[in-house]
Amino acid sequence: MRISFLLHNAYHIGGTIRTTFTLAQVLAERHDVEIVSVFRHRDEPILGVPTGVTLRHLVDLRKNSPGYDGDHPDHARPARVFPRGDGRWKQYSALTDARIGEHLATVTADVVVATRPGLNVHLAKQARRGPVLIGQEHLVLTGHTFRLRREIRHQYALLDAVTTVTESDARAYRELGIPGVRIDAVPNSVPAPKVGPADPAAKIVVAAGRLTRIKRYDVLIDAFAEVAAAHPDWRLRIYGTGDAVDDMRPALARRIEERGLGENVSLMGWANPMEPEWVKGSIAAVTSLRESFGMTIVEAMRCGLPVVSTDCHGPREIIEDGVDGRLVPVDDVSAVARALRELIEDDELRAKTARAALMASERFDPARIAARHEEIWTELVARGPSGRRHGRAAAQLHRAVGSAVDAGYELKRRIGVLVRRFR
């Protein structure tokens, strides 16, 4: 098969980028695979180009590049195809509308896969009717704005399938009742580490992820204050950086100092690859408010670490509580501390859960996950365009009604803006 992925920015770093690169590389062993990045802001991808995969971009934001698009007049005009409800909307423009549209109108792949809601909407609105059209959800449906959920319900009707990373999110999508669209849960994949498994005797807890509010590292630091009081020889290492909008590093550094944890807790910065850092610890910790899946959980387990995680959607489909890790309530400092101490204070239990984590994580091996995607796509390709579009009239009507409703909401919003402006 010829497979084309549409990605927001393949030159950056993040869970969706990492899992797309991993999947693409495995698929490239048997298929013709390309990744099309909407944006390019640097010369080379941070993660490197997956072996056997073609990588190209649509909009060049490198200021020193001869193809720089930042001065294009359409770059300053707001996007009309990319949905306003998607959190990345401000980064898109009339230029991206046009470039994505041109790409989707001419792509010759058998399967076209978009990787975030805004791009899935582009796929539904602009792709030619021939390839299998797959919309991937790497976040959580219920975590999207009402406005975006409304667009999803109406616009996705012209896709062939939607894949989510958890069964619970697949159920949420099925409840939308989008006519004729196949909904499947396929988890993200994580390759086997290139380093040996962690030593359960190591007295280090490891956490990794963006230093943003949603990760709630303040909860982890407070919980570790309780741990360190009883076990001062244990250490917590937190890997990651913040971002321009939400950088919690300064606040976390102050919290560490205020708690007197300078000898016990370290903000380690960004590490790539993380595998050599995971295996320096014996326990991993996740204290997020919400995780659509939990890539770092699987990464840690693949390195032989049991994970203490908040029960925040995705982790419950990865961790078997009490077997290969612990699930604790969200935002509960004492529960996190108790779970960590339970593993810290029982060497045999820590070693046992580490072995269980290593074994359980094999189900996320890239070859297994790629095979599941191939199975879905092959079935859809075999049905052919006419077989897949038997409900096309109903889907078009569904989308037309939805678009009319959306237009009404947008008109109401604009009238509200004008009323407030002239009060």
pLDDT digits (tens, 9 = 90+) for 335-365: 999 999 999 999 999 999 999 999 999 999 9
Average pLDDT of the segment spanning 406-415:
60
Higher pLDDT, 392 or 248: 248
From 245-249, 318-322, 371-375, the region with the lowest mean pLDDT:
245-249
What is the structure's pLDDT at 404? Answer: 58
Percentage of the chain exceeding pLDDT 90: 87
**Predicted structure pTM score:** 0.88
CATH superfamily of 204-364: Glycogen Phosphorylase B; (3.40.50.2000)
Distances (CA, A) of 266 to 110, 214, 235, 339: 48, 19, 8, 20
The answer to whether residue 402 scores a pLDDT higher than 60 is no
CATH superfamily of 2-189+368-418: Glycogen Phosphorylase B; (3.40.50.2000)
Q: What is the pLDDT of residues 285-310, one digit of tens each?
A: 999 999 999 999 999 999 999 999 99
Q: Give the pLDDT band of residue 14 (cuts 50, 70, 90).
A: confident
Average pLDDT of the segment spanning 108-112:
97
Within this chain, domains 2-189+368-418 and 204-364 share the same CATH topology:
yes
What is the structure's pLDDT at 405? Answer: 58
Average pLDDT of the segment spanning 400-412:
58
Q: What letter represents residue 297's amino acid?
A: I
Spatial separation of the C-alpha atoms in residues 373 and 183, rounded to whole Å = 12
Q: Give the pLDDT band of residue 384 (cuts 50, 70, 90).
A: confident
What is the structure's pLDDT at 332? Answer: 98
3-state secondary structure the chain: CEEEEEECCCCCCCHHHHHHHHHHHHHCCCCEEEEEEEEECCCCCCCCCCCCCEEEEEEECCCCCCCCCCCCHHHHCECCCCCCCCCCHHHCEHHHHHHHHHHHHHCCCCEEEECCHHHHHHHHHHCCCCCEEEEEECCCHHHCCHHHHHHHHHHHHHCCEEEECCHHHHHHHHCCCCCCCEEEECCCCCCCCCCCCCCCCCCEEEEECCCCHHHCHHHHHHHHHHHHHHCCCCEEEEECCCCCCCCCHHHHHHHHHHCCCCCCEEEEECCCCCHHHHCCCCEEEECCCCECCCHHHHHHHHCCCCEEEECCEHHHHCCCECCCEEEECCCCHHHHHHHHHHHHCCHHHHHHHHHHHHHHHHHHCHHHHHHHHHHHHHHHHHHHHHHHCCCHHHHHHHHHHHHHHHHHHHHHHHHHHHHHHCC
Average pLDDT of the segment spanning 45-64:
97
Task: Give domain limits for the chain.
Answer: 2-189+368-418, 204-364
What is the structure's pLDDT at 408? Answer: 60
What is the structure's pLDDT at 418? Answer: 61
Q: What is the pLDDT of residues 190-241, one digit of tens each?
A: 999 999 999 999 999 999 999 999 999 999 999 999 999 999 999 999 999 9
Spatial separation of the C-alpha atoms in residues 282 and 269, rounded to whole Å = 19
What is the structure's pLDDT at 385? Answer: 81
Q: Give the pLDDT band of residue 13 (cuts 50, 70, 90).
A: confident
